[in-house]
Amino acid sequence: MIRVATIRDMAQLTDLWRSAGLRFHPDLVERELTAMLPDGLVLVDEEAGELTGTVFGTYDGTRGWIHRLATRPDRRGRGIASALLAELERRLRAVGCPKVNLLIEPGHAAVASFYARLGYRPDELLFMEKWLVPEPDDLYVPNGAGNPDPAPVSAPDGWRDIRPELSAEPYVFAAGELTDPPPGVSPFAIIREDEGVTLILTRADADRAGLAYEYIAARITLRVGSALTDVGLTALFSRTLAAAGISCNVIAGLAHDHLFVDWDQAARALALLRRL
């Protein structure tokens, strides 16, 4: 059941944000709720008296904003976040809101694909902030106390032209054995884990060897010269693709980095990387 939150939900909301891995200032929760509740845009999903999801909305007469969309970890995958977002969008439209914005912190970039599926798209903006009251020092940081994630590092000049090159063949990730690869098969990479062996190879080779697979990927090689000790290069392109809702798996060689993205997203990924 989706309903408007009340001040009595404050303790459960705080617990939900902690379990969902959000960063927030505990001492400001009551102030935030007191200011936002009258607008009827603070929504919660409730199941048997327990809050399972939440989202905040604000509208300043020009733009709407989405805040604190979160679902309890043990309730994810049930459509709660999508339902909350849809209900908030409905309420914002009802008060005349023409457009909504949201911000995603670098540490949560993976959720960009969720918003992309619902019609949201990234935009290049410079975000700035200023505290009008003394800045609280009680920021809740997921996974233990500490400073917030640092701002992304700008790419050095030597990385400006990363020269992405798309392989014409689709690749797959298939399970193998702790023996030599099947006859006639030359894997691009072999990853040995405690749970078994993963072969990264062309789909044609996998089919020829009778190997099962699910994920079909495109391989993009970055021809820019880089070292394994370089800092920020992997973050640069993974953040770029994540913001567009494109997942990527990275393998670093001594000469180049290789990205594996969803096969049907290859053209978009290549275009985005060429803009860097």
At residue 114, what is the residue type?
F
Q: Is-contact 145 276, C-beta < 8 A?
A: no
Q: What is the pLDDT of residues 107-155, one digit of tens each?
A: 677 788 888 888 888 887 777 888 777 877 667 666 544 444 333 334 4
* Domain 157-274: homologous superfamily in CATH: VC0802-like (3.30.2130.10)
Token reading at 44:
């919660």
**Of the candidates 77, 39, 75, which has an alpha carbon nearest to the alpha carbon of residue 58?**
39
Q: What is the distance between the alpha carbons of residues 68 and 232, in angstroms, rounded to a whole number?
A: 28
Class of domain 2-117: alpha beta
First and final CA of the chain: distance in angstroms?
44
Q: What is the distance between the alpha carbons of residues 87 and 107, in angstroms, rounded to a whole number?
A: 26
Query: In what helix (H) or strand (E) does residue 256 lie, and over which residues does it extend?
Result: none
The angle formed by the CA atoms of residues 156, 159 and 160, to the nearest 5 degrees, is: 95
Is residue 168's pLDDT more than 50?
Answer: yes
Fold match between 2-117 and 157-274?
A: no
Token reading at 270:
């290549």
Strand order in the sheet with 257-262: 189-193, 196-202, 164-176, 213-222, 257-262, 248-252
- Quote the pLDDT of residue 253: 80
**Residues contacting 171, CB < 8 A, separation 6+:** 188, 200, 201, 202, 203, 216, 217, 218, 219, 260
The domain limits of the chain are: 2-117, 157-274
Among positive and negative, which fits the CA dihedral 214, 234, 201, 266?
Answer: positive
Is residue 70's pLDDT more than 60?
Answer: yes
**Residues contacting 80, CB < 8 A, separation 6+:** 45, 52, 53, 71
pTM: 0.52
Q: What is the pLDDT of residues 207-262, one digit of tens each?
A: 888 888 888 999 999 876 555 555 556 777 778 888 888 888 888 887 788 999 98
Decide which of 46 and 243 is more confident. Answer: 46
Strand order in the sheet with 50-59: 2-4, 42-47, 50-59, 64-71, 100-101
Residue 136 is given by DSSP the state: P
- Quote the pLDDT of residue 196: 83
**Among the listed ranges 88-92, 122-126, 196-200, 257-261, which one has the minimum average pLDDT value?**
122-126
**Of the candidates 31, 32, 51, which has an alpha carbon nearest to the alpha carbon of residue 41?**
32
